[in-house]
Copies of this chain bind each other. A is one copy, B any other.
Amino acid sequence: MEPLIVINFKTYEQATGENALNLARICDAAAKETGVNIIIAPQHADIYRIASEVSIPVFAQHFDNIKYGSNTGHILPESLKAAGAVGSLLNHSENRINLASIEACVKKLESLGMASIVCTNNVATTMAAAALDPDYVAIEPPELIGSGISVSQAQPDIITGSVKVVKKISKEVEVLCGAGVSTADDVKSAMELGAEGVLLASGVVCAKDQDKALRDLINF
């Protein structure tokens, strides 16, 4: 089975504006050459430019639970779709939203034909998120985010526990392994524990050589 690699650009300088476009091209080229499934999640203002230039899927990092109308400065999911996004992260640890909003946003993405990745922080919240029927749940223990220590190696029980409770709720929700992922071994161990892929950011975005870091990561 092929792992899915989701790269969150966050608001890193190395992934803003021109830099975001460059990184997107690196990911696009690597995906084409290796056949690995790579999804990128750049900032809202970079989505249009990137989606116009690459063929790998572009996701948003977040949007608001709003409808067309008077919501100055908020992120309308329809604006993301119009810009070329085909999915979105939701409830990232740096941008938590409430339970009712997660549910409404998952449904909204589905109605727009877009995919959803709901981020969670432990086994219990992963089970809760699975009950909302997203496409993916990405489990990221907060203490490992940005640590360089992979959850799949440091806390394998969280992955196996998450896979177990998710599958109890629904066979169709897939589990991604986030937090601390940076090497091909991290990806391999995540897959062996039952995850369908990984969600990462700094491991690639902040690497001195982004292309090399990505190639190393997907050389599993």
Are B44 and A78 in contact, CB atoms less than 8 angstroms apart? no
How many angstroms from the CA of A81 to the CA of B18 in the assembled complex? 11
Q: Any chain B CB within 8 A of the CB of A165? A: yes
How many angstroms from the CA of A124 to the CA of B12 in the assembled complex? 29
Residues from chain B with Cβ under 8 Å of A165 in the complex: 131
A:111-125 near B, CB below 8 Å: 120-122, 124-125
Nearest Cβ on chain B to A52's Cβ, whole angstroms: 9
Q: How many chain copies does the complex carry?
A: 4
Residues from chain B with Cβ under 8 Å of A80 in the complex: 45
A sample of 6 cross-chain residue pairs with beta-carbon separation below 8 angstroms, ordered by A number, consists of A8-B72, A45-B85, A72-B92, A73-B94, A98-B99, A100-B125
Residues from chain B with Cβ under 8 Å of A10 in the complex: 69-72
How many angstroms from the CA of A169 to the CA of B131 in the assembled complex? 10
Contact with B along A110-153 (1 / 0, CB 8 A): 00000000001110110111111100000000000110000000
Show the binding face of A for B, using Cβ within 8 Å.
8, 10-13, 16-18, 20, 43-49, 60-63, 66, 68-76, 78-83, 85, 89, 91-103, 120-122, 124-125, 127-133, 145-146, 165, 169, 201-202
Residues from chain B with Cβ under 8 Å of A46 in the complex: 48, 79, 82-83
Are B92 and A73 in contact, CB atoms less than 8 angstroms apart? yes
Nearest Cβ on chain B to A80's Cβ, whole angstroms: 6
Nearest Cβ on chain B to A210's Cβ, whole angstroms: 16
Are B129 and A99 in contact, CB atoms less than 8 angstroms apart? yes
Are B128 and A66 in contact, CB atoms less than 8 angstroms apart? no
| A17 in contact with B83 given A73-B89, A99-B129, A133-B124 (CB within 8 Å) | yes
Name the contact of A69 in the complex, choosing from B12, B47, B98, B169 (C-beta under 8 A): B12
- 5 smallest beta-carbon distances between A and B, as pairs: A62-B73, A17-B82, A96-B98, A73-B95, A128-B128
How many angstroms from the CA of A93 to the CA of B124 in the assembled complex? 22
How many angstroms from the CA of A131 to the CA of B202 in the assembled complex? 31
Name the contact of A68 in the complex, choosing from B11, B47, B78 (C-beta under 8 A): B11
Residues from chain B with Cβ under 8 Å of A122 in the complex: 103
Nearest Cβ on chain B to A55's Cβ, whole angstroms: 19
